[in-house]
Structure formats: C-alpha cells, structure tokens
Amino acid sequence: MFDNHVHTRHSPDCATEPSDAIAAARAAGLSGIVFTDHWDIGYESFNAGRFPPAEYARGELRNYRSAGGAFSVLIGIELGPTPAVRGEAERAMAGASFDYVMLSAHYAAAGGAGVTGGAGLPGAAGAGAPDSAAGGAEGAGAAGAAGAGPAGSAAGDMIYPQCEYGRLFEKYSKSEAYAAYLRTLISLVDAYDCFDALGHFDYISRYSPYADPIMRYRDFAGLFDALFGRLVSRGKALEINTATYRRLGGAPSFDADIVRRYAELGGELLCLGSDAHRARDVGGQFGEFRDALRACGVKALAHFEERKPIMTKL
C-alpha cells in the first residue's frame, strides 16, 4: 500500500524530517510514500503555502524521489485554494512537476446554494469575518494565525476558516455545517481541473464536537451523488483519509455506504492517505482500513506517478 498523504517540515504545521517519514513507511511495510505538503491560498490560513510549488517540486524532496522500485518516494502537494484564485493555482500546478496533486478544503463557505440546488445556511450572510483565536487544528503545534478571516469575498461568506471550527459548530447544526462543507468541496471541484484526487472529504468531522461525528451517506445523499458524479466523470480520484479516525479514536468507522456509492457511480480510483504530521502516524490504521475497504468490495487502490494513476491490488 501507498501512503498518499504525508506532511514534512515544508508544511507550516509539521516538523517531520522527510527521511524520518520514509523510514517509518518502510518500517510499516508500505510500498511507497507520497509527500503532500500544504499549499493553501486565497484566504488566511495557518496552512498557507510558504514555498513556490515549482521550487518545492524540484527541491530537497526530489533527492528522495524514486518510482517503480521495491519502495517508491513520490512528490505531491496538498492544494487548498478557494475558487477565486483559480488562475494562480492552475498556473502554479501546470508549472511544477508533481507526481500527484490533491485538492482539499480546510474551510467551509456559507454560499453554494446554487451548487446543488440546496438551501444555503440559515443566517449565513455576514457570518464570516471572525476574529481569530487559533486553535490547534490539523497537526499539533500549529502556528497561530494572526487575524485570520476571509480574504475579501474570495470564498464567499466563509463560515469556517480552519481555526474557527468551534464557532462553526456553535452556530450551525451538524447537518448544516457538514452540508456547507460538502458544498464547498463541490464548488472547488467545479472550479479546478489541475488535481488528481480530492482529499479528506470528511475533514470537518475531525473537529466535530457531536456525540456522533461520523459523516453518513444517507444524511447527505444528494450532495455525495453530486460530488462523486463530478469526480467520476472527470477521472478524479477520491481519498480515504485515516486521520479523522485516528483523531476521533476507535475503529475505522467511516460510513461504508459512502465507499459503496462511489463505486456504484463508477468510481474506481481510491487513494489511501494517513495525513501524517508526525512520522509515527505514517501508514496509520492502514491495516484496519484495508480490511474495512475490502469489506466494501474494494479490490484495488490507486496512487499517482507523474500525474497518472497506477492501481495496486488491495
């Protein structure tokens, strides 16, 4: 198995040495590792990219790159933009030689009612512009975001910059908040073509305070169908991310109906990723997830080399 989602000290919220992550992947018996450091643009984020993507892609990590052997090291990126900066993000990805571009969102926008025909959030207008009290979001020891707030109207009315998730859950119900996040993903997928896979679709549940934080297909069937239909028709992969369950504790309790529905709609490209911000989390819970995915009928997993999918039997 490949771990398609690993951070290094090139991410603002991570201190892991690349060589330590590689050693951990080998020790875990993986076939390969894909570095995917953060490049969030278009809004204030403490995951904001601190490197030009082209330089990152051909920089230090390139020394570790190897493909196709007994153990592969590949270079990707976690691209976290808003729809408003499409030009900049598309140009940056086109100008960099990545193996893998994973699109993700660390925010939720209040807009998007037109995206799926669903209703917008109640009282969403003007819900943005929070003052910031940075909490530790993705990864420990994250630098505090100074004065985080929406960058203009780039993301519509941003209700959930990543350090404000507590406020989001105070203000909206689980169903409203999760639906807003899924609509945000749909609007990103509509805006971008420069990506290979959509990362952590269930990111919002990682920080959810609800007794039952799991995101279920039956509660958001229309939104999942809209999202998966877009991914499948355009040959984009879906990431299954183990970090949510590592954080929540317990077994890989992702909703099997989500994986089954993705397959029903023709989806064949599933990438597994740990979202490790510490070397010891590389390959985290992959054994349990392998079993759970097999139980859903998944026969193979994907990783990308030079932006082309390669399937490996599960």
Question: Which residues contact Zn ion by CB under 5 A?
Answer: 78, 104, 275
- Nearest-angstrom CA–CA distance, 54 and 56: 5
- Nearest-angstrom CA–CA distance, 45 and 139: 14
CB 191 → Zn ion: shortest distance, Å?
A: 18
- Are 150 and 129 in contact, with CB atoms under 8 Å apart? yes
Nearer to Zn ion, 78 or 255 (CB): 78
Q: Where are the alpha helices (DSSP H) in the chain?
A: 18-27, 53-58, 86-94, 113-116, 165-171, 174-191, 221-233, 243-248, 256-264, 286-295
CB 280 → Zn ion: shortest distance, Å?
A: 16
Nearer to Zn ion, 104 or 244 (CB): 104
- Nearest-angstrom CA–CA distance, 282 and 274: 6
Nearer to Zn ion, 16 or 104 (CB): 104
- Nearest-angstrom CA–CA distance, 247 and 239: 17
Tokens of 300: 């193979």
CB 236 → Zn ion: shortest distance, Å?
A: 17
Nearer to Zn ion, 183 or 206 (CB): 206
CB 204 → Zn ion: shortest distance, Å?
A: 11
Residue of closest CB approach to Zn ion? 275
286-295 and 256-264 are packed helices; what angle lies between their axes, rounded to 10 degrees? 50
Nearer to Zn ion, 3 or 275 (CB): 275
Task: Convert 216-258 into a string of H (helix), E (strand) and C (coil).
Answer: CHHHCHHHHHHHHHHHHHCCCEEEEECHHHHHHCCCCCCCHHH
Nearer to Zn ion, 13 or 255 (CB): 13
At a CB cut-off of 8 Å and minimum separation 6, what does 165 contact? 135, 137, 204, 207, 208
Tokens of 131: 């003052």
Nearer to Zn ion, 3 or 78 (CB): 78
Nearer to Zn ion, 104 or 184 (CB): 104
Helices (H) and strands (E) in the chain, counts: 10, 9
CB 48 → Zn ion: shortest distance, Å?
A: 13
Tokens of 264: 């029903």
CB 70 → Zn ion: shortest distance, Å?
A: 26
CB 199 → Zn ion: shortest distance, Å?
A: 6
CB 87 → Zn ion: shortest distance, Å?
A: 22
